[in-house]
Each structure stands twice: as structure tokens, then as C-alpha cells.
Structure 1
């Protein structure tokens, strides 16, 4: 079956050149009329594409023309139609972030990988952590903390020594970044339905920034994070190279 493809590329010259070559071979359908979107770049551009096209019921197939390619397939131009026909689809739900800044402004954003809180000044952040309305940690002195999805568990979460989560697991990873006190706290695994709230203590002295994937909010008072199961991002992978296999492979390197 012939598919109408819309090609998107990051600003990297190698990605732009690939887009020109692929359009010359396969054409380029309008985004709102495409059967599939092909994203050319790295994982950062893939996340941007998924966020930007979340209102379209169209799967996204990534080909790596960037530095990191966990969410991407290998780049190959001649057999694209055959690969799209054989591709396997994964559906991942994002996290929803609500935050209030010190000036009273409220913010909302979605995150496919993680929502992270990071210190915004020279002093460590001081956070209180609640889960489903119950305070679980009165004070966490740290450089930051995050809630990560299974799909995002190999990204910033893994770099902060958080666990890799199986893609089908109904859990979220709550992971500190450079925890100073409690010094031995390494985070927690939470049910996917959990609602996590971070309150910043001493926000004037210890400013904190919240980041949902790439969207940031400075000087937050509190941040509330929950899974958004009503939304799903459709991602296509070559057979045998889906998220479950990639997550397993990351643990044996």
C-alpha cells in the first residue's frame, strides 16, 4: 500500500540533506494529510515532533540523523516503503505537569520522557515530596529530582542512576539527582496512577526550575505530576528493534 509521507528534519545539515533526498524519492505530503510522519534527527527532535503532532492521529517513524537515537530507527533511504509496511507500533502515554511559579502563574505541559526539577542557583534545592496527597519525604536536599516514564527511563533518569523500566510496566520512576540528604536515598518506584507533588522549600534562597522534556518553568513553588493515560503517542519501529528490545539491550552494555 502506498503511504503518504510527511518528512520533518532537525536543523542539523545531515538531517536537512536527508529530507531533501527523501522528498525527491518519495514526495512530501502535507502534515495533516499524511498517513505517517518520518522524523529525521536525534531523540530530541523526535520528542519535539511527537509533542508538535500530538493532535494528529498519525504514527511517527524516526530515522537517526542525530547524536542519540534511542527512539529512532537506522537511516536507510532505498527501502523506506518496505520498512514502513513492516514496522511495529508502540503507543506511549505522556506525563502531565502542573506547576505554579513564585509570581502566581500556573503552567501546564506534557512530557514523554520525564518531568525534572533542577536547582536554579548555587545552592542545593530543598524539596518536599508527596505521593497521592501523603507526604513521603519531608526534606530532600539535592541538585534535583524527576519522575520518568518507562519510555524515558533510559534517558536522564538512567544517567541519574535511576532504574530502567520495562516498556509495559505500569510504574513510574521517582529519582533524585545528586541527593545530599537523605544521603542514601535512591528514589522509588511508583504505580503509574500515582500523583506526585514536589513543594519547593525556601524558594527565594533556593530557586528551582521545572522541566517537562524541553519546556522549562523557572522559580516554581510546587509541581504536580501524573500520568495522562487518555493520550497516546504512536511510534513506529523496525521489527525486532522496538522499545522493549532497546530497553533490554541498554541493560547489557
Structure 2
């Protein structure tokens, strides 16, 4: 990384993260995010995801330290040598998905997703969804609880829990994964180019309402959802040299169940 001389420290509201924030600010001070060269995030994966959304427009690299549970997107917490660690870290550039959703009232909603965009049924009735890829209808109708499109970083999260394929960071593919599919029964999803334009049309939307969620941003009662990888927005995650994100994602494919 370039020489990082100013750090902003951002923490979740949980007591453990707030205590660490107090310790680090006492040692290193704290700059405003817009004035910093890098942003240190204290918390868990949820905190890092929220920080990605909050600071994406600033274009500052993020160095996370885990004070949550899993900490897949973060480094171990250590108060000592923070500036040295951040300057020695390896950077991984990630791009979010851009979701454009139209609801039954005709309103258009635009949101970013660093993990995934998911469509889910809102009631007891199953969802009926048409899938179009790059202008070609690939499935006229899928009957399911929902469907999701994931980024490579997000492929280890909801996508994996739903039975989707975990993909390496450099694979340039996006996993498309059905959730509790009823028809076609044997369809297990697809791996799509990260340049693909994916469109979902909700069949019989008033009777079978569906929501679309980009990470934590939910849009209710959608009729059409268009998704593609955003090349205009990128974020850089920083990791200690012995904490290689690409290797961690690859290794998840062989993790014991």
C-alpha cells in the first residue's frame, strides 16, 4: 500500500468494539474519514459490510479488526503496531452489485450490494420468477422461495448457506442460486460472467408478492429487478500478509460440513 499516515477509526456500537475504540484512539488519535488515508473498522463482518456502504464514496481502503464472531472480512484484533500493520497490508479491490428494482407502484429503487441481492417471497405463496440473462430468457418461470445473485466475496455467506457455489475472488463469475426451488426441481443455479446483466420479472406479483434485498436494503413488492456488477464503484479491503482473503475464500470450498 501507499504510505498511510492518517487513520480514521470506526467501531460498531457493541461494548467490546467501543472499548477497543477508546484504546486505539488513546494510542493513535482519530482522523475524520474524509481526511484519512485509510479507515480501520472495529466489529464483525456486519460492521465491515455497513462500513463498505457508508464509506464507499470516499474511496479509502478499509482495514478491519475482528471483535465479532466470524470475522471473515477482518484481521485479528491487536492494539500494538497499528500503523505498521496497515502499511504492510495487502489490498484486495472488490466491486459491488448494482440493483435497480421497480415496485408495483412504479417507483424505481437503486441500491448497491457487496454481498448479494436476494429476492424472497413475502407470504406463504411461492414466488414465480422469470430469469433473463443479457437479453435472453433463460428460465421462463422458476417456482421457489426466492433466488439470489452473489459477489465472489459474498459467495461464502447467504449464497453458501442456500447451497450455492463458493467462487474464488479472481474467477470473474457471479453465483446465481435458487432458494428452496420447487420447479424446475433439479435446477441448482448457475455461474454467470461478472459482465452479465441479470433481470428478474416477478409473475403474478399482486398475488405472490416478492421483496428484493441488496445486503440490508429491502424493497417490498417488486415486479422487475435488474442487476449487474458496478464498475464505477470499488472498495479496497486491507489484510495482513498472512491473512490472504483469496486463500480464505478458496479454502471455504473444502471446509468440513
Task: Name the TM-score class by shorter chain.
Answer: over 0.9
**How far apart are 1:79 and its partner, in Å?**
2.3
- Cα distance between partner residues in 1 of 2:174 and 2:180: 19
Match of 2:243 in 1: 241
* Of 34, 37, 44, the match for 2:36: 34
Please show how residues 94-243 of structure 1 align to structure 2 within 5 Å. 94-243=96-245
The number of equivalent residue pairs is: 253
**How far apart are 1:206 and its partner, in Å?**
1.0
- Cα distance between partner residues in 2 of 1:27 and 1:249: 37
- Cα distance between partner residues in 1 of 2:5 and 2:69: 28
Match of 1:10 in 2: 12
**How far apart are 1:32 and its partner, in Å?**
1.1
CA displacement, residues 155-212 of structure 1 (integer Å, 9 cap, x when unaligned): 1111111111110111111100111111111000111111000111111111101000
Name stretches of at least 5 consecutive residues in structure 2 with no aligned partner. Answer: none
RMSD of aligned C-alpha atoms?
Answer: 1.1
- Cα distance between partner residues in 2 of 1:16 and 1:158: 31
**How far apart are 1:41 and its partner, in Å?**
0.9
Q: Check whether the contact 1:141–1:182 (CA below 8 A) recurs between aligned residues.
A: yes
* Of 225, 247, 253, the match for 1:251: 253
Secondary structure, in 3 states, of the residue corresponding to 2:250?
Answer: helix
- Cα distance between partner residues in 2 of 1:126 and 1:23: 51
**How far apart are 1:71 and its partner, in Å?**
0.6
Moved more, 208-217 or 1-10: 1-10
- Cα distance between partner residues in 1 of 2:231 and 2:4: 32
Secondary structure, in 3 states, of the residue corresponding to 2:75?
Answer: coil
Secondary structure, in 3 states, of the residue corresponding to 2:247?
Answer: helix
**How far apart are 1:85 and its partner, in Å?**
1.7
Secondary structure, in 3 states, of the residue corresponding to 2:154?
Answer: coil
- Cα distance between partner residues in 1 of 2:110 and 2:104: 15
Moved more, 20-29 or 238-247: 238-247
TM-score by length of 2: 0.96
**How far apart are 1:2 and its partner, in Å?**
6.3
Secondary structure, in 3 states, of the residue corresponding to 1:153?
Answer: helix
Match of 2:76 in 1: 74
TM-score by length of 1: 0.97
CA displacement, residues 65-89 of structure 1 (integer Å, 9 cap, x when unaligned): 1123111111111122221121000
**How far apart are 1:27 and its partner, in Å?**
0.4
Name stretches of at least 5 consecutive residues in structure 1 with no aligned partner. Answer: none
